[in-house]
Amino acid sequence: MFKPVSVTSDDAAGRVEFVGDAHARVNLIGEHTDYHQGFVLPTLMPQCTTARVQLRTDRMVLAHSTIGDGVHPFVLGDESPGLGWIDYVQGVTAVAARAGLALQGFSVSIDSNVPVGAGVSSSAALTVALLRALRGALGLAIDDIEIARLSQRVETEFVGVPVGIMDQMACSLGRQNEALFIDTRTLAIERIPLPSTIELIVIDSGIKHQHAGGGYAARKGESFAAAAALGAAWLRDVPIDQLPRVDALPTETAKRARHVITENHRVLEAVKALRDGDVARLGELLNASHASLRDDYEVSTGEIDTLAALGQHDPDVYGARMTGGGFGGAVVMLARPGRGRAAATRITDAYRRLTGLRSSILMPLETAQAQ
Ligand code: GLA
């Protein structure tokens, strides 16, 4: 299934512009399960990244962003990491060439209102948007799953962060108002409409996460050591009734394994609750996920815990948890419909009083913004 690329205009020189876009994602539940071939349940947010591509006749790439830090040139085949956001453009061309796709030079202008470092996949939105634009411009024979796979390789092979495939699958195949239930082992997906009885809140804590900082890779390593101690290649393969075996492991190893195994199970429970329209149960599962990420996986921070707790205690919120890789970033909450914006405003005000930090409400948008 190809998402259509819009061909917007001919510029003065007669060059056609190919436009690809991709939205930010928020993961509802299923955190740190994807690299264990487990289950995840993300959805898309209104924030979006757009890539506008015009082909050139040589092998130069000229990348420019509306953040206004100039034009960054590089030559296809000469990509080299270490240049900030340009690495995601260079990573796309490097990985696409390695995958055997025939490229030619282009200029690209990137525009985005996806916050960076908020745990809502700004990098996957960029690589997916660019690959969509290039697919249209160059007629590349790649489907949406291949776009997700290539985008993941940009992170793991070029940028050097050992991420799973959730973010790229979400940005490439997700839709707003619909949870995307992904089995990351098979990449099978199921679309589950979000019930009208909930409204999503997403608040950026103001603490920027940094996966390259090493916490993510460290947890990943610890979790694979835990899997090995349980005789499994992936924790996906350790069923929930094996928890007594997990409890017998050394404390830290047991905690890492317990999180992934219970979180995977919570995703399945959340899918059931979504189908049943049981929003109270869904809220409980989000709260339990947060506790597990805080206590067993230890990827939360004091500030994020405060933000999640404020949500969990709000009368219009069913449940709240950190979302994304952790060590900062955003919190997702399930609110009563029509109450999300007011609840989020109460929560961010209280957060500021308690921590001195200014957070921002990413969802729901103010009515004026949403129109
Ligand atoms: C980051 C990674 C994902 C996933 C989450 C944690 O967002 O990119 O692959 O591992 O962290 O669930």
Instruction: Tell me which of 347 and 14 has the higher pLDDT.
Output: 347
Spacing, Cα 353 to ligand 1 middle (Å): 30
* Alpha carbons 155 and 88: distance in angstroms, whole number: 8
What is the pLDDT of the chain when averaged over all its residues?
94
Of the residues 34, 144, 167, 204, only one is catalytic, namely 167
Residues framing ligand 1 (Cβ under 6 A)? 31-32, 34-35, 163-164, 166-167, 324-325
Spacing, Cα 326 to ligand 1 middle (Å): 9
Q: How confident is the model at residue 213 (pLDDT cuts 50, 70, 90)?
A: low
Q: What pLDDT score was predicted for residue 367?
A: 76
Name the residue of 32, 166, 289 whose CB sits within 8 Å of the most ligand 1 atoms, as the mutation to test its pocket: 166
Query: Which residue puts its alpha carbon closest to atom 1 of ligand 1?
Result: 325
| Whole-structure pTM value | 0.95
131-164, pLDDT tens digit by residue? 999 999 999 999 999 999 999 999 999 999 999 9
Residue 251 has pLDDT above 70, yes or no: yes
Q: What pLDDT score was predicted for residue 4?
A: 43
pLDDT average, residue stretch 332-360: 98
User: Alpha carbon 31 to chain centroid distance?
Assistant: 10
Q: How confident is the model at residue 3 (pLDDT cuts 50, 70, 90)?
A: very low
Q: What is the 3-state secondary structure (H, E, C) of the chain?
A: CCCCCEEEEECCCCCEEEEEEEEEEEEEECCCCHHHCCEEEEEEEEEEEEEEEEECCCCEEEEEECCCCCEEEEECCCCCCCCCCHHHHHHHHHHHHHCCCCCCCEEEEEEECCCCCCCCCHHHHHHHHHHHHHHHHHCCCCCHHHHHHHHHHHHHHHHCCCCCCHHHHHHHHCCECEEEEEECCCCEEEEEECCCCCEEEEEECCCCCCHHHCHHHHHHHHHHHHHHHCCCCCHHHCCHHHHHHHHCCCHHHHHHHHHHHHHHHHHHHHHHHHHHCCHHHHHHHHHHHHHHHHHCCCCCCHHHHHHHHHHHCCCCEEEEEEECCCCCCEEEEEECCCCHHHHHHHHHHHHHHHHCCCCEEEECCCHHHHC
Query: Which residue puts its alpha carbon closest to atom 8 of ligand 1?
Result: 163
Name the residue of 159, 167, 304 whose CB sits within 8 Å of the most ligand 1 atoms, as the mutation to test its pocket: 167
* 276 annotated active-site: no
Q: What pLDDT score was predicted for residue 119?
A: 93
Spacing, Cα 152 to ligand 1 middle (Å): 11
* Alpha carbons 51 and 275: distance in angstroms, whole number: 35
pLDDT average, residue stretch 7-27: 80
pLDDT average, residue stretch 34-58: 98
Pairing assessment for the beta strands 330-335 and 199-204 based on DSSP bridges: antiparallel
Q: How confident is the model at residue 371 (pLDDT cuts 50, 70, 90)?
A: low
Spacing, Cα 263 to ligand 1 middle (Å): 13
Q: How confident is the model at residue 323 (pLDDT cuts 50, 70, 90)?
A: very high
Name the residue of 25, 27, 34, 151 whose CB sits within 8 Å of the most ligand 1 atoms, as the mutation to test its pocket: 34
Query: Which residue puts its alpha carbon closest to atom 9 of ligand 1?
Result: 164
Residue 6 has pLDDT above 70, yes or no: no
Contact of 364 with 201, CB cutoff 8 Å: yes
Pick from 95, 90, 94, 81: nearest CA to 110: 90
Spacing, Cα 220 to ligand 1 middle (Å): 10
Domains of the chain: 5-192 (3.30.230.10), 197-370 (3.30.70.890)
280-318, pLDDT tens digit by residue? 999 999 999 999 999 999 999 999 999 999 999 999 999
Residue 210 has pLDDT above 70, yes or no: no
78-87, pLDDT tens digit by residue? 999 999 999 9
Q: How confident is the model at residue 238 (pLDDT cuts 50, 70, 90)?
A: very high
166-197, pLDDT tens digit by residue? 999 999 999 999 999 999 999 999 999 999 99
Q: What pLDDT score was predicted for residue 221?
A: 97
User: Which residues sit opposite 74 in a β-bridge?
Assistant: 61
Q: How confident is the model at residue 209 (pLDDT cuts 50, 70, 90)?
A: confident
* Alpha carbons 371 and 360: distance in angstroms, whole number: 19
Residue 73 has pLDDT above 90, yes or no: yes
Spacing, Cα 71 to ligand 1 middle (Å): 30
